[in-house]
Structure 1
Amino acid sequence: MDFFINNWILILAAFVSGGLLVWPLVTRGAAGSTVSPSEAVRLINREKGVVIDVCEPDEFAKGHIKDARNIPFGQIESSAQLPSNKALPLIVVCATGARASRAAATLRKAGYQNTHVLAGGMAGWREANLPVEK
């Protein structure tokens, strides 16, 4: 018992660091997995992944991933632009990734189980020096 009393700071630090390690695994299930830009390119090229850009049309016009389908976040549930094959990988992207995470959760509820969020959004895509269409 004296060990716990004398080393409470170390024990607290161990629990906090363990929680930080487990947190991404806990939060990943709701919104699907997060993929890097290079992994997104692999999904697009090798597994016929479909890019769903949930930005507003004016944001989309400023720059987007080639062949991305623009479905604003507010229309994601009722859009006819979503692929009918729910097994295809979907890469959901927005400017920073915040809207994309929520959209991915909505898509998973609609039956699209192979849904991924682009890490960093379009900012991450540009940072990786990948092509952008206007």
Structure 2
Amino acid sequence: MGVAVQVQAYVTLSRPSYEPERWHAYIIYAFVICFYTLLNVFGVKALHSLNLLGIGTHLGGYLLMIIIMLVYTKDKHIFWTALINAIITLPWLIVLLYCSGNIDDVLSSKIGPISPVTQVRPLPT
């Protein structure tokens, strides 16, 4: 169903007069299921090539979107802020996950569901 909703989103972006309906998503979904079924039944030999094409398209599109977003953004300092934040946060996340102990014990305590970090902090000491 995600493919159908994504197709509807693309159509809405390209045609502002389009009003998405739920039954449109179902029709698109049914078409996609029929297409995939026919591909799996009659196009078995092409699946490997299509898989490689899909991987290449996803990786290329991923890199292309990152480059486009970095080039066209007006606030370039946000990138450096996010990068520094990720570099600083990663060790904290690794230590927190390493020291958390049994997750069931953390979540079953009184303060675990409210603030798991508060429950995890006394465990290593």
TM-score bracket relative to the smaller structure: under 0.3
The higher-RCO structure (CA 8 Å, 6+ apart) is 1
- Higher normalized strand content (fraction of residues): 1
Structure number with greater Rg is 2
TM-score (norm: length of structure 1): 0.20
